[in-house]
A and B are shown apart, each in its own frame.
Chain A
């Protein structure tokens, strides 16, 4: 019967692998929904993603505690810009972070206001300038108020 010994070894191996598989593969791993090709996964992963932390809260999150800058911005041509685009994500402000940053850099303004006269793009309609000629190196906020989108005082 010694010729059968390799067979027993293989059978034991298969049994061990199946037992290990039962322990390793989560209970909720399987076909969820009708589609075999695209819906074969661990169900709890959906909840993992839903629990991901939200950082950008939107301007409605800001308006109750900061009504003045909110109103000022909303009545300026910059009303389409979200507060958090320049001040960074609110996350759980005021507890975390207690203070938001203010991006005063020239580069922030250049995102929209570098003059790019591109036909078929809305960019061409924005009032722009040549950053190499108009006060290079200076911060725009030194003369222009971004909340009012105003001409220099």
Chain B
């Protein structure tokens, strides 16, 4: 290599490096990544805060047009009462559409059980909703492609495409799916997809007076809900199924099924 070639090559190399650095300054890929709106919806339920008022269930049913009188719901609240002897009583009368207005636990078949305060070891409410699993078995089994996972992590049902075979209802380990009594297709919680895509909160989150229900974006490091999930002790339902649920709970107990 002679001197002319050496100078020529160094000049080109320098120009190349400067250009790359300049482009980095101009386009700012970091900002570009942030504004590309990476979204993965997650949900956080704090069972310590839940008071069992059932406003979430009522709001969900009215918002999502699920008949109030039908014994099906996209979300519900369960009550667990553990007695001193270790017996577990659990109920969800009408999916807690009208809340819990009596201390008598519904045992089914018209039987009720009342517990004295001094006999109760622990008692609490657990709101439940679709886990929007990262690996949803309900989606995997659909024979016609009527249910699917969106890019932002919510599993939806295509009402025009669903044939109502019911495989997905069988496949969900959490019992979240049911037949819509009016539309005659599979129905499920979708985190109020029509609301969250408009920047609103899901109807149940908005209706909750105590902040027991929260929604967030796990891909946003600034998101307060994502922060709680990353930094605090949270648990999920039935991890043994490998479905990778994206609804996180604070204060779950072994009695909760």
Residues of A that sit less than 8 Å from B by CB: 29, 32-33, 35, 37-42, 45-46, 48-56, 58, 80-82, 84-85, 88-89, 107, 110-112, 114-123, 126, 131
13 contacts between A and B (CB under 8 A): A39-B148, A39-B149, A41-B161, A42-B145, A42-B160, A49-B156, A56-B59, A82-B209, A110-B99, A114-B103, A122-B210, A123-B50, A131-B101
B contact patch SS: loop
Q: What CA separation (Å) do A33 and B145 show in the bound complex? A: 14
1/0 per residue, CB under 8 A from A, across B27-68: the answer is 000000000000000000001111111110011001110000
A46 and B150 contact, CB distance less than 8 A: yes
> Bound state CA distance, A48 and B159, in angstroms?
9
Cβ–Cβ < 8 Å partners of B98 in chain A: 107, 111
In whole angstroms, what is the CA distance A149 to B125 when docked?
24
Chain B: residues with Cβ within 8 Å of the partner, total of 59
Most central of B64, B101, B123 by chain A CB within 10 Å = B101
For B147, what are the chain A residues with a Cβ–Cβ distance below 8 Å? 41
Interface contact B100-A55, CB-CB below 8 Å? no
Are A46 and B195 in touch, CB under 8 angstroms? Answer: no
Given contact pairs A37-B139, A54-B198, A118-B81, A84 touches B207 in the complex (Cβ within 8 A): yes
Which residue of chain A has the shortest Cβ distance to B153 in the bound complex?
A38
User: Chain B 72-89 against A: per-residue CB contact (8 Å), 1 yes, 0 no?
Assistant: 000000000100000000
In the complex, the answer to whether A122 meets B51 with C-beta atoms within 8 Å is yes
CB distance from B254 to the nearest CB of A (A): 13
Q: Is A119 in contact with B122, judged by CB distance below 8 angstroms?
A: yes
Q: Given B48, B49, B62, B194, which contacts A51 in the complex, CB threshold below 8 Å?
A: B194
A82 touches B207 (CB 8 A): yes
Beyond A119-B121, A121-B123, whether A54 also contacts B200 by CB under 8 A is yes
List the A side residues contacting B149 at CB < 8 Å: 35, 38-39
Asked whether any CB of chain A lies closer than 8 Å to the CB of B102, the reply is yes
What chain B residues lie within 8 Å of A55 (beta carbons)?
A: 62-63, 203
Q: Which B residues fall within an 8 A CB radius of A?
A: 47-55, 58-59, 62-64, 81, 98-103, 117, 120-125, 135-136, 139-140, 145-151, 156, 158-161, 190, 193-195, 197-198, 200-201, 203, 206-207, 209-210, 212, 251
List, in ascending order, chain B residues with CB within 8 A of A82's CB: 55, 206-207, 209
- Contacts A50-B197, A85-B207, A111-B54 given; indicate if A120 touches B159 (C-beta within 8 A): no
Contact, CB under 8 Å: A111 / B62: no
Instruction: Name the CB-closest residue of A to B197.
Output: A50
Q: Which A-chain residue is minimally distant from B116 (CB atoms)?
A: A117
A46-B150, A54-B198, A85-B207 given; A118·B190 CB < 8 A = no
Q: How far is the CA of A58 from the CA of B98 in the complex (A)?
A: 20
In the bound complex, residues from chain B placing their C-beta under 8 Å from that of A39 are 148-149
Output the nearest chain B residue to A79 by Cβ-Cβ distance: B209
Nearest CB on A from B182, distance (A): 14
Closest approach, in angstroms, between the C-beta of B51 and any C-beta of chain A?
4
B53 touching A111 by the CB < 8 A rule?
Answer: yes
For the complex, what is the distance from the CA of A119 to the CA of B55, rounded to whole Å?
A: 21
Q: A45-B158, A89-B62 are in contact. Are A114 and B50 (CB under 8 A)?
A: no
A85 → chain B closest CB, angstroms: 5
Which of chain B's residues have a CB closer than 8 A to the CB of A41?
Answer: 145-148, 158, 161
